Amino acid sequence: MALLFSLILAIYTGPGILGSFSRVRLVGGDHRCEGRVELQQDDEWVTVCDDYWNMDSVAVLCRELGCGAARKTMSGTMYGPVTPKDQKVFIHLFRCNGIEESLSQCEREDAIGCSHDEDAGAVCEGSFSRVRLVGGDHRCEGRVELQQDDEWVTVCDDYWNMDSVAVLCRELGCGAARKTMSGTVYGPVTPKDQKVFIHSFRCNGIEESLSQCEREDAIGCSHVEDVGVVCERESHSPSGPESVRLADGPGRCQGRVEVKFQGEWSSVCQAGWSFAAAKVVCRQLGCGRATLTRRGCNKATQGQGAIWQRKASCSGQEVSLQDCLSEVWEHNCTHNEDVWVECEDPFALKLVGGRSHCEGRLEVLHKGEWGSVCDDGWGQDADRVVCRQLGCGQPLSPPVKVRRRFGPGVGRIWLDDVKCSGKEPSLEQCLHRSWGYHNCNHREDVAVVCEEQQSGLPDA
């Protein structure tokens, strides 16, 4: 018996421990963040069986490799034959919940009867550490390049627009966006075999960096489609506002216009305002087109502090208010004349199936399509964000059977693993998995019940 115990102890605690591994890699893909999953055991690499392998597993793997968000789970056979031919399959399967820092933290099951036909593969977004512009007359103009490990790659111009330029210029501290250009204007790439980044960027213009923008796979892109940009050289405008927001509305895309100038937030008087300026504000905030600008807010939504001492003269085509002509002007405005603007929000939410707009099954609008939200990770802080965004009162905590009366959704499940602090102005700003990625069904749809409360919209 003692001998048997010693053998077992040696197996599970010795340096050659079964089921242990020291490193993870992806092989056979177009870059280090795509390929067949392999683990290093002592001096050999083994593959991983795809039983239980799902997007949660890919999310953990991508996180461990520093490769950004999970994109796809793939068959390892897509990445060519294993090398050597007698390469082994790892003895365990991984059951991850998606929040682990590494595969070694995931639960495991025995891998029984797996062959290389069942090898797991993965595609991650791919990470980059720096952004630069090359070939221009100054550091704020040129072909866009991203640094991946020790090499620089170009960016394909699919989906690239002035919103993308605005984000890039902001990230580089280069002031306002001026133009989007063909990267070919800035000379040939160096080295000649320089790669194109695997994703195209879809920015809404309000992100702080390209890494925060949504992405699409860049398919069939060549250096003829490299993107270039022109930004202002300066990181600020001495006369224009530093930032803009819509305050005290039911969401981030409706509210009283406030501008930040010389570190102070001020409301804006209607006498120095125009619908063209409203168009610019909506564009700057990533809120779609302007639908309304009106003079006057009700008492609940009037400003309390300073009133901007400048007038914005916009054509409506500018990327931000900073790009509009701005001049000092004398006025005798009061907060009764504060400007209110409403934009179309490309991200919207609603509660359906309830007795009012303040209760029901939660649905969110993304890319023009409504879908539900999975309740994995959902809590009262998320309820609080939803209730505030809809202009309702505090969240209530009804029994499960009350929430279920709103019924299951149909179609898309857009969000999963949503985690809010409760202070976010919009659910869109809470942490969540990539859009459309989930491990849920409609029996897990989120429902929210809020106290009813007047939203504080301006009087008609």
Q: Which CATH number fits domain 243-343: 3.60.20.10, 3.10.250.10, 3.40.50.10440, 1.10.760.10?
A: 3.10.250.10
Question: DSSP class of residue 301?
Answer: T
Tell the CATH topology of 11-124. Answer: Mac-2 Binding Protein (3.10.250)
CATH for 130-231 is 3.10.250.10
Parse the chain into domains and list their residue ranges: 11-124, 130-231, 243-343, 348-449
pLDDT(322) > 60: yes
pLDDT(431) > 70: yes
Q: Which CATH architecture is the domain 348-449 placed in? A: Roll (3.10)
Helix (H) or strand (E) holding 251: strand 243-251
Q: What was the pLDDT predicted at 238?
A: 43
- Provide the token pair at 382: 């998320």
pLDDT(58) > 50: yes
Residue 450 near residue 396, CB atoms below 8 Å: yes
Burial group, residue 110, by CB count within 10 angstroms (0-12, 13-18, 19+): exposed
- Provide the token pair at 353: 């199936």
Average pLDDT, the chain: 83
Q: Which one has a higher pLDDT value, 258 or 212?
A: 258
Same fold across 11-124 and 130-231: yes
Q: What is the pLDDT of residues 262-307, one digit of tens each?
A: 677 888 888 778 899 999 898 888 777 888 887 767 777 778 888 8
Q: What is the pLDDT of residues 218-246, one digit of tens each?
A: 888 999 999 999 988 654 444 456 678 88
Q: Are strands 70-75 and 120-124 parallel, antiparallel or unpaired?
A: antiparallel
Question: DSSP class of residue 85?
Answer: T
Residue 151 near residue 197, CB atoms below 8 Å: no
Q: Give the C-alpha separation, 339 to 172, whole Å.
A: 32
Residue 35 near residue 26, CB atoms below 8 Å: yes
- 296 forms bridges with which residues in the sheet? none
Q: What was the pLDDT predicted at 391?
A: 85
Q: What is the pLDDT of residues 169-215, one digit of tens each?
A: 988 888 888 889 999 999 888 888 898 988 889 888 888 888 888 88
Report the candidate in 280, 400, 414 with the shortest Cα–Cα distance to residue 347.
414
Q: What was the pLDDT predicted at 115?
A: 93
